[in-house]
Amino acid sequence: MSVQELEAEVLRLPAAEREELVRRLLAHVSAGGAADPLLGLGSDPVACGLADASAHHDRHLYGAAD
């Protein structure tokens, strides 16, 4: 399941269920659970000769159009 498909499924949940999901995810992360690796995107940059190497990361990660 892609991130977009998962997001679409979550958005179909009633508000109370979405809030519970968010609460549980935040509790998991704050309790030392595995952090989402995307939250660290750009935290350890490398030199690649581009002015902004992250300018097109959505296209590479999600196949988004320019």
Amino acid at 3: V
User: What is the structure's pLDDT at 1?
Assistant: 74
Rounded Cα gap, residues 36 and 13, in angstroms: 22
CA distances from 35 to 11, 39, 46 (A): 22, 8, 22
Tens digits of residue pLDDT in 4-57: 888 889 889 999 998 998 888 888 777 776 666 766 766 766 677 766 666 667
CA angle 31, 39, 11 (to 5 degrees): 85
Q: Token match 């399941």: residue?
A: 1
* Tokens matching residue 25: 């995810």
User: What is the structure's pLDDT at 22?
Assistant: 87
